[in-house]
Amino acid sequence: MIKPIKNNKQYNEALKAIYGLMQKDIKPETRESDNLEVLSILVKEYELAHFPLPKPNPIDAIKFRLEQLGMSESELSSIIGHRSRKSEILSGKRKLSLQMIRQLNKKLKIPAEVLIQAY
């Protein structure tokens, strides 16, 4: 019987069970495939609660998103303002303003909670 994961011992047991199930040739819509799915969800939730990933640095997030979208840093000027302002932001000499955060969130879809962090 599958139970909620409440401690590291149970977490490690669930990981072993997932590994064992993944080594098999499991057919969809079987008890084993359902067990694998439920265990994976339980492990994911335990990891989110006990091993949270830190949010990225706002400048790193901007650069990463530009790369994802195939945009150049010069195109960032059209979002946050003048070319010199863009350079100051990316070099860390100037902080993001509220207006810049709003624009980056709207145009690049970077979560506001990432952009408002101290850096």
Helix (H) or strand (E) holding 16: helix 8-22
pLDDT, one tens digit per residue, over 57-110 is 999 999 999 999 999 988 999 998 887 888 999 998 999 999 999 999 999 999
All structural domains of the chain with their residue ranges = 8-50, 58-115
Least confident of 12-16, 46-50, 79-83, 94-98: 79-83
Q: Is 76 exposed, middle or buried (0-12, 13-18, 19+ CB in 10 A)?
A: buried
Q: How far apart are CA 26 and CA 117, in angstroms?
A: 44
**Closest of 119, 92, 89, 93 to residue 103, by C-alpha:** 89
DSSP classification of residue 29: T
What class, spelled out in words, does domain 58-115 have in CATH?
A: mainly alpha
Residue 36: which pLDDT band, with cuts at 50, 70 and 90?
very high
Residue 1: which pLDDT band, with cuts at 50, 70 and 90?
confident
Structure tokens at 89: 């932001």
